[in-house]
Structure 1
Amino acid sequence: MSGLQLNDVYLARQRIASLVRVTPMDPSPSLSKQLGVPVYLKLESQQITGSFKLRGASNAIAQLSTGQRAKGVVAASTGNHGRALAYAASQLNVKATICLSQLVPPNKVQAIRDLGAEVCIIGRSQDDAQRQAERIAGEQGAALLPPFDHPAIIAGQGTLGLEIIEQVPDVAQVLVPLSGGGLFAGVALALKSANPNIRLHGISMQRGAAMHASLQAGQPMEVEELPTLADSLGGGIGLDNQYTFAMTRDLCDQVHLLDEASIANGIRHAYFQERQVVEGAAAVGIGALLDGLIEPRGPIVVVVSGRNVDLEQHLRVLAGANQ
């Protein structure tokens, strides 16, 4: 399928143990009552940099040789990968350059700068940022560490799957935000290796879901990027995708797409019922449950992937806005 094995995920966990935290698995009384089965929230939003991305970024940098580290790392990002890479690079004394499109929210840009990374803002899409990152890698010899389509990134994200199976051993279904597929592929590899009967749902937004369009077409496709509350799920999967497309195709049981109102409902539920501040991309699993998209067979684990929301936007949504 990809050459990636469960052992790669276990090795990643050893490698990054001092750089990331094991995140909480909290029961959701409100969602459990609504569905009639146990529902748990895997609060990866409480990871050190505010999202799951730190797992893959830490594993990717930790795998580099001394010579590679000396030349630095470069990446394109919609925000959270860049923030995670900047943090991991600062912990391991490696220079990081992060390329971002103009669509990335200002709070995420500033957070990356605050961690000491060099920031390059270019173009109106993740693909524009990716091309710039590739140019820098070619010119400076820096290691290009993509947000998702890289074996070390996928293995790092898969450590979240190991925690799920240890925290809820009898889990029946897992809802995972789906964008480029690094998180989904890693988590699904870990879970399906432990128990092939666990049902894996990929949750995305209706506005520009590149992986869903690619799965429907049977090959990687480009889609127009559109403004969405789930901005972290934006961006293409790369027309030359090497890993995550095939892994998602082979391991995903079902994909669900949410409209903006449903994503907003997920954000509001997380805050008012669960007392959690989450970004739109992290609220899609909750939104899918509220919409009744998932068969009530439990235990169900919802991956809450990040908290790095623009606070002004968060306040608007809490007040009832859907954008």
Structure 2
Amino acid sequence: MVGLDEIRMAAARIAPMIRRTPLRVSRGLTDMAGGPVWLKCEHHQETGAFKLRGASNAAAGLGRVAGVTTASTGNHGRALAHAARALGIPAVICMSRLVPANKIAAIEALGAEARITGASQDEAFDEARRLVREEGFALVPPFDDAAVIAGQGTLGLEILEDLPEAAAIAIPLSGGGLLAGVAAAARALRPDIRIIGISMERGAAMAASLAAGHPVDVEELETLADSLGGGIGLENRLTFAMCRDLMDDLILLEEAEIAAGIRWLAREEGETVEGAAAVGAAAVLAGRLDARAGPLVLLLSGGNIDPALHAAILKGER
């Protein structure tokens, strides 16, 4: 398990490398949820998503390497490319054909190679492992890594520093690095706080693995919450157990519900977010999540949505 000490050390290490993102109340969602709803606006982060925290913490701990690599659905790759450029080392980001073009372009704009390989996150990971094995690259995993988890956990510290009375945190759930880190920090500081994971119904690997009692393979399907796609790894070392032990509830959403969350946040809150970041608001709108037990924090994890897709969702075409 990753603990509070590691998360606090990560916070000190990455402070010069990231933004402390705002936490603000949502009046509209508060009215619906029966209690205060707060938005942690991590989509305002330097690279548009929370992934910069974990990637920066992991990359800062590397010694002399030929380069860095990872498999990514987009946001972690962009974060690692950003960190690698700051460190002056090459980066190769391996991605499947399902990754949106705007996320690929953002990675290439940072000077990294975006290597498209296979039809799933797992297949992209095979290429990243080959680079480690044959070319001497250092692997920075997108979620199942202690340094990455500790970096993501700094969000939990910020939330409780800004809102000590928070009763629950709703966290987008994919491979589990974000939920594991935030939950570890929050539970260490507030043992009674509720941790709620939210994902999509289409290809939610962590949800299927928790239901099975062990990591399982799940077909990766196209979804508006593309950042939540991909497997958790059959040899998962950390995030499966941490999510199993630290998460109180799990909500799975339909595509129409995710689209409604994106639209609400754009029209009512003025926030442009990707599908993964909209799942908390979507759960409130769908009546699946409330704040009657006390202040609820929704973690808006990223804003790197394709502009054409965002426009189509706002028009009700998706």
- TM (normalized to structure 1)? 0.97
Q: Offset at 1:34?
A: 1.3
Residue from 47, 52, 55 that aligns with 2:53: 55
Matching residue's letter, 1:263: I
**2:265 counterpart of 1:270:** yes
Gaps of 5+ in 2: none
**2:21 counterpart of 1:23:** yes
Say whether the 8 Å CA contact 1:59–1:152 is kept in structure 2.
yes
Partner residue of 2:306?
Answer: 310
**Deviations 1:255-302 (Å, cap 9, x if unpaired)?**
000000100000001000100000000000100111111243220000
* Superposition CA RMSD, Å: 0.7
Distance 1:165 1:64 in 2: 30
Partner residue of 2:192?
Answer: 197
Partner residue of 1:139?
Answer: 134
**Deviations 1:160-181 (Å, cap 9, x if unpaired)?**
0100001110000110000000
5 Å matches for 1:37-52? 37-52=35-50
Q: Offset at 1:26?
A: 1.0
Distance 1:284 1:232 in 2: 11
Name the SS of the counterpart of 1:273 in structure 2.
helix
Distance 1:13 1:189 in 2: 14
Distance 2:128 2:99 in 1: 16
**Deviations 1:143-189 (Å, cap 9, x if unpaired)?**
11110000000000000010000111000011000000000000000
How many percent identity over aligned positions?
A: 56
Matching residue's letter, 2:39: L
- TM (normalized to structure 2)? 0.99
Q: Offset at 1:140?
A: 1.2
Residue from 70, 84, 104 that aligns with 2:99: 104
Name the SS of the counterpart of 2:311 in structure 1.
helix
Name the SS of the counterpart of 1:21 in structure 2.
coil
Residue from 70, 76, 80 that aligns with 1:75: 70
**2:204 counterpart of 1:209:** yes
Distance 1:62 1:303 in 2: 25
Partner residue of 1:234?
Answer: 229
Say whether the 8 Å CA contact 1:76–1:98 is kept in structure 2.
yes
Q: Offset at 1:315?
A: 0.3
Distance 1:72 1:8 in 2: 25
5 Å matches for 1:173-192? 173-192=168-187
Name the SS of the counterpart of 2:127 in structure 1.
helix
Gaps of 5+ in 1: none
Distance 2:31 2:62 in 1: 47
Partner residue of 2:123?
Answer: 128
Residue from 159, 163, 172 that aligns with 2:167: 172
Matched residue pairs, number? 317
Judge which range, 291-300 or 210-219, deviates more. Answer: 291-300
Matching residue's letter, 1:212: A
Say whether the 8 Å CA contact 1:264–1:321 is kept in structure 2.
no
**Deviations 1:13-57 (Å, cap 9, x if unpaired)?**
111011100000011010011122111000000000000000000
